[in-house]
Amino acid sequence: MSSQTHAPEIPGQTVREILDRGILLLGESGIEDPQVDAELLVGHVLKASRGQVQAMAITGRQVSGADASEISSALSRRAAREPLQHISGVAYFRSLELRVGPGVFVPRPETEFVAGLAIDALASFVLGAASTEGPIGIDLGTGSGAIALAMATEVPHARVIAVENSEAAFVWTRQNFSSVDAANARLVFADLAVALPDINGQVSVVISNPPYIPLGAIPRDPEVRLFDPEHALYGGVDGLDIVRQVSQTALRLLHAGGALIMEHGELQGRAIRELLAADGWHATATHRDLTGRDRATTAVR
C-alpha cells in the first residue's frame, strides 16, 4: 500500500526523527505546509506548543513508544487528508479555542476577517434601537459557534444570538457555548428562515456564513470535499438559495440602519450585491480578504 495512506513505522525515537518522517509523509500526500502540520500533530500528542516541539527536536528529546505510535496514527489520518482540527479536536478562531469534529464545519482563517466586519459593526452600536440592554447581533447558521462567540467575547456590551438547525453541528455548538465564557451569548436551535420572530426590527447586526457552493461544483480541497458536512457547503443550483433566505430574514430582524454581513465565494460578490439591491438593501459593498479575494458582502437595512 502506498505511503500516501500509511505513516512509516515510528519506533519511539527522537522528536527530530519523527518530525522528519512526518514531514516527508505529509508532503507526499499533498499537504500545503507539511512541517507546520507535523509539528502541530506531534505537539497535540505530547501536549506541547509548536515552539516547544521545535525545541525538543533541537535538543534530541526522546519519545516513548506509546506516544510515537499515537503520533504515527495521527500522521496517517492527516495524510488521508482528514482535517487537522478533526484529529486534534480543536480549532482556533480569533482568540477562541473551539471543539470541532465530524458533523460541523471547521471555521477557516478567512472567516476571521468576515467576523471582524461584524464585530466592528456591532461595536459601533452603543444601544439597540428598541432596548437599553445593548445592541443585538445575530449569527445565522452558526455551526461551531465561532462567529457568534467571537462577537460576544469581543463586544461584551452586546447581546448575541446564534442560530443553528443541524443536529450534528448543534452537538459541537453546545460544547463551545458551555466552554467559552460568554454570558451575553445565547444559542437557539431553529431554521434561519423563521428564527427569532419575537425580536423583529430590534437587531443591529446580522452575520452569516451560509452554504454557498453550487450543487454542480466540486470543492478543490479534499478536507472540504471529504469531511465537511454537505449541509454546510451546498447552496442550491447557483449556490445562492440560503443567501436569499438570509437576506429575507435579516430584513425582518434588523432595525433601520442595521448591518448585514455575509461570507461567500470569491466569484459571487456581484451576484450577491445584485440580489441584495433587488431586495431593497442599501450601500451594498463587497470586501476582499487578506489574500485579495472577494470574501464578504455587506449591506445596510
Q: Which range, of 62-76, 122-136, 258-272, 277-291, averages the lowest pLDDT?
A: 122-136
Mean pLDDT computed over 58-72: 93
Q: What's the whole-model pTM score?
A: 0.87
**List of residues 6+ apart from 20 with CB closer than 8 A:** none
Cβ distance 79 to 23 under 8 Å?
no
Mean pLDDT computed over 46-70: 94
**List of residues 6+ apart from 143 with CB closer than 8 A:** 104, 105, 107, 164, 166, 169, 172, 173, 209, 232
Task: Pick one of 3.20.20.80, 3.30.230.70, 3.40.50.150, 3.20.20.70 as the CATH number of 91-300.
Answer: 3.40.50.150
| In the chain, where the domains are located | 15-80, 91-300
Cβ distance 65 to 11 under 8 Å?
yes
Q: How confident is the model at residue 9 (pLDDT cuts 50, 70, 90)?
A: very low
196: left (phi over 0), alpha (psi -120 to 50) or beta: left
Cβ distance 62 to 13 under 8 Å?
yes
pLDDT at 260 exceeding the cut of 60: yes
